[in-house]
Amino acid sequence: MKKKVLVTGGTGFIGSHTVVELIENGYETILIDNLHNSEAIVAQRIGDITGVVPQLEIIDMRDKAAMGKFFAMQGSSIDAVIHFAAFKSVGESARKPLDYYYNNLVSLLNLLEETRKHGIKSLVFSSSCTVYGQPDKLPVSEVSPLKPAMSPYGRTKKICEDILADTVEAVKELKVVSLRYFNPIGAHPSALIGELPRGIPENLVPFITQTAIGIREELKVYGDDYDTPDGSCIRDYIHVVDLAKAHVSALHRLVNNKNKTNFEVFNIGTGKGVSVFEAIESFQRVSGVKLKYRIIGRRSGDIEKIWADTSLANSELGWKAESTVDDAMKTAWEWEKSLRGGK
């Protein structure tokens, strides 16, 4: 019998790619999403890729009554949860901190209340490298000290991890794996799903692709005076399909009782730092498009440099990032062109 996985935020960027990998690995999925930053048609596109259109329920996880009703109908059939649903922009969180605290914390609290009530034992949490703040030492590992996060978004992820760690102490049957992502980029090679920001993109790669295709006049680079080789921020950019596969590995670990403690954390990145200027060069190389960009001041909430030590995820999850930044840029560009009618 197939294990049934609830995927919250399942039509979002990372959620949709993970649902594809889950279906292709024999899991049954049910999605909930409030479509704040995604579209319902994504479920159909997942079906176009996999041959299976997942069930999608449009629910706002902050609505306790709606969550209760959903779980009363579905809770007994759910074996595990992967929780993506959250607001996710560092820059926006600095402008709208209350929205971020309310959305990201209340949605998790309502979810945990229902998983406890219905005896759901396995949960994979979508966390972030922002919980490390600006590390003293790189690469950053899971045992690195958690410095103060540089943004309200990062603080919500740290608080959510604290909530989960406390909950597994009290709810002994619950097992949680928290995946601390670095910077997901790219799109599915089919160009049927990818990152779909509403309005002006907050993340680098959608801004790059929208500039390349002519939607944005120019790309803004936030600062070239950091203590890095070329002065721009350094990040660990991971292909979203590699990231999606890490969730399947984490879920497999939980449902097969391979976890060593009831709350585990893993870094999910490539282990390689890439600067903003190097990312721009990568895109220009694979697309053949010369980007117009302008350097402006630093952005609130941005850390200077971070990349992952992924050895724990490599050894314990049996997972490793396989794609290069060039691979990811190529798929992001194909996705952008498909959105604009194949220009």
73-102 pLDDT, tens digit each = 999 999 999 999 999 998 899 999 999 999
Residue 341 pLDDT exceeds 90: no
Residue 262 lies in a domain: yes
Residue 245 lies in a domain: yes
The span from the CA of 147 to the CA of 144, in Å, is 9
Residue 215 lies in a domain: no
pLDDT of residue 309: 98
pLDDT of residue 1: 85
Q: Which domain holds residue 158?
A: 4-185+238-269
Residue 115 lies in a domain: yes
- Which CATH number do you get for residue 24? 3.40.50.720
Distances (CA, A) of 228 to 159, 185, 231, 233: 30, 21, 5, 7
pLDDT band of residue 202 (cuts 50, 70, 90) is confident
247-266 burial string, b = 16+ CB within 10 Å, else e?
A: bbbbbbbbbeeebeebbbbb
pLDDT of residue 261: 98
Domain count, the chain: 1
Catalytic residue of the set 100, 153, 181, 226: 153
On whether the pTM is more than 0.85, the answer is yes
Q: What is the secondary structure of 109-176 as a DSSP string?
A: HHHHHHHHHTT--EEEEEEEGGGG-S-SSSSB-TTS--PPPSSHHHHHHHHHHHHHHHHHHHSTT-EE
What value does the mean pLDDT of the chain take?
A: 96
Residue 223 lies in a domain: no
Greatest CA separation for the chain: 56
pLDDT of residue 342: 60
Strands of 34-138, DSSP E: 55-58, 80-83, 122-128
Residue 20 pLDDT exceeds 70: yes
Residue 175 lies in a domain: yes
Residue 332 lies in a domain: no
Q: What percent of the chain has pLDDT over 90?
A: 95
Residue 199 pLDDT exceeds 90: no
Residue 233 pLDDT exceeds 90: yes
Residue 343 pLDDT exceeds 60: no
Q: What is the mean pLDDT of residues 130-144?
A: 95
102-116 pLDDT, tens digit each = 999 999 999 999 999
Residue 121 lies in a domain: yes
247-285 pLDDT, tens digit each = 999 999 999 999 999 999 999 999 999 999 999 999 999
* Catalytic status, residue 293: no
pLDDT band of residue 9 (cuts 50, 70, 90) is very high
pLDDT of residue 129: 96
What amino acid is encoded at 134 in this protein? Q
Q: Measuring CA to CA, which residue among 174, 32, 181, 177 is closest to residue 112? A: 174
What amino acid is encoded at 111 in this protein? L
